Amino acid sequence: MDKDKQMPLGNLRVLELGTLLAGPFTGRVLADFGAEVIKVEPPGKADPMRKWGKEKDGVGLWWPVQSRNKKSITINLREKEGQDLLKELVEGADILIENFRPGTMEKWNLSYETLSEINPKLIMVRTSGFGQTGPYKERAGFGSVGEAMGGLRHVTGYKDRAPTRTGISIGDTLSALFATIGCLVAVNERNLSGKGQVVDTALYESVFSVMESLIPDYMLADFVRERMGNILPGVAPSNIYQTEDETYVVIGANADGVFRRLCEAMGQEELAEDPDYATHEARGRNMKKLDFLIEEWTKKLPSNELLSLLEKKGVPSGLIYSAKDIVEDPHYQAREMIVTVEHPELGDFPMPGVVPKLSRTPGKVKFPGAEKMGQHNEEIFRDILDYSDRDIKAFQEKGII
C-alpha cells in the first residue's frame, strides 16, 4: 500500500483554493498528516506567499514551509472551462478550502450548493474576515483586522503606548487552526450521516474565541482588560526578570506551592509566610513590590545558573528564545522540531516539524512547497481526470491552466 495512504489522513483529497495564510495553513496541517492537498493558483498570478519573507538566491523562504507536502496546479477559475475543471476535481474530492471574500465562489458559479450537487459528501472550509453571514460579511479582512476586532490588539503591549501586534500573523494562524478543527469535525460527522457541509470560520471570531474571560469580566464585573505589558493582572509572580548577563528569564510561580519553591531558590523562605505574599490574592495586590524583590535576586546570577537552580526547585522558567537559541537547543533536536527536507535549488531546507505528535501514526514533512506553479498539472489532469496530453496542451494555450 502507498505509504501516504497509511497516514492518518491519507484517505482524504483536499482542494486548496486560498492564498496567503489562513486557508493555506489549514491545508498545510492536513497535508502534514497525509491528506493529498492540491494547491490551485490562477495561471500567471502566483500566490503572494511565494515571495513573502526573506529570500535566498531568489527563492522565498516562507513558501516552502507554508506549502509543504502539497501538489501544485493552475486553473483559471474566472473562465467557465476552468470552473468546469474544478467541478470535475470536486467529484473525487473530500474537502475544498477557500479564503476569498464571501461571494467570490458564488460569482464563479462555485457555490457550495452547486458543488454539493456534484458531490454531496463535499466539505467546504470557508475562512474569511467576518464569516459568511452578518452585516460585515462582505468586508475585506486580513488577520491584522481580526486581531484588532477580536480584542487581542487592545490588550497587547503597554498601557502607556499604542496597541501593538504580537510579532507573527497570529490571527491568520488561529483561524486556520479553528478551520482545521471544524474540517475534521465535519469529516467525522460525515462518517455518521454520509453528508458534507460548510465549515464557516471568521478571523475575528477565531481571535475572540481565545480571549479568556474578557466578556464576563466586562459584563459581570464591569472590568475592561487593558494592555499590561508582560504581567497578568492579579497573577504573580509571572513576568520576565533580568539576569546578571543582561538577558531575560520568564518565571511563572503564581501557584502557592510553586511560589514557596521559588522562595527556597532565592534563599528567602520567609517570603512564603509573609502576609503580603502568602496567598494568590496577596501576591496579586503586591505584584510590583514582589517583582522588584525577585529581580533584585535574578540580577545577581547569570542566566544559566539561574535556570539550573529554578529547574532543580521545580519552578517553571525559561529564556526568551531567538531563532539562534531554538536551533541550538537540544530539546528541539530531540523532539525533531526542526526537520530538513531537500529543496531543488537550495539543497537542505530546515523548517518546523509536525505538531502534534501521534504515537502510532505521526505526521511527516515529505517535501517543500512546489517551486514552480502548476508543477503537478500533468499528474492531476491526466491521472485523475483522464485528460490527454493534447487536451492539457490546449488548456494551456487557452490560458485555462
**24: exposed, middle or buried (Cβ count in 10 Å: 0-12, 13-18, 19+):** buried
pLDDT tens-digit series, residues 130-175: 999 999 999 988 889 999 999 999 999 999 999 999 889 999 999 9
> What's residue 255's pLDDT?
92
Task: Give the number of residues written for the chain.
Answer: 401
390 is written with which cell numbers?
Answer: 493534447
292 is written with which cell numbers?
Answer: 522588584
> What's residue 234's pLDDT?
85
**296: exposed, middle or buried (Cβ count in 10 Å: 0-12, 13-18, 19+):** exposed
Rounded-to-integer distance, Cα 165 and Cα 75, Å: 35
> What's residue 141's pLDDT?
87
398 has pLDDT over 70:
yes
For the residues 234-259, what does the mean pLDDT come to?
Answer: 94
103 is written with which cell numbers?
Answer: 461571494
Structural domains of the chain ordered from first start: 3-210+335-397 (3.40.50.10540), 238-242+248-319 (3.30.1540.10)
Residue with cell 460527522: 189
- The 3-state DSSP class for residue 107 equals helix
3 has pLDDT over 70:
no
> What's residue 99's pLDDT?
95
Residue with cell 491545508: 27
Give the C-alpha distances (Å, rounded to integers) separating 193 from 149, 183, 187, 190: 36, 15, 10, 5
367 is written with which cell numbers?
Answer: 517535501
For the residues 245-268, what does the mean pLDDT come to?
Answer: 95
282 has pLDDT over 90:
yes
For the residues 74-95, what does the mean pLDDT come to?
Answer: 97
Segment among 30-44, 49-63, 301-315 with least mean pLDDT: 49-63
pLDDT tens-digit series, residues 189-224: 999 999 999 999 999 999 999 999 999 999 999 999
Rounded-to-integer distance, Cα 138 and Cα 136, Å: 6
233 has pLDDT over 90:
no
pLDDT tens-digit series, residues 285-311: 999 999 999 999 999 999 999 999 999
Residue 57 falls in the annotated catalytic set: no
Provide the percentage of residues in the chain whose pLDDT is more than 70: 99
For the residues 272-282, what does the mean pLDDT come to?
Answer: 94
Contact, 356 vs 184, CB < 8 A?
no
Rounded-to-integer distance, Cα 68 and Cα 56, Å: 17
Q: Which of 32, 47, 94, 172 is catalytic?
A: 172
> What's residue 2's pLDDT?
60
Amino acid at 150: G
Model pTM? 0.92
Q: Which residues is 16 bridged to in the sheet? A: 39, 97
Rounded-to-integer distance, Cα 115 and Cα 109, Å: 9
For the residues 79-88, what does the mean pLDDT come to?
Answer: 96
1 has pLDDT over 50:
no
Would you call the peptide bond into 356 cis, given omega within 30 degrees of 0 as the criterion? Answer: yes
4 has pLDDT over 70:
no
> What's residue 385's pLDDT?
95
Question: How many angstroms separate the first and last alpha carbons of the chain?
Answer: 31
12 has pLDDT over 80:
yes
Total Cβ atoms within 10 A of residue 123:
27
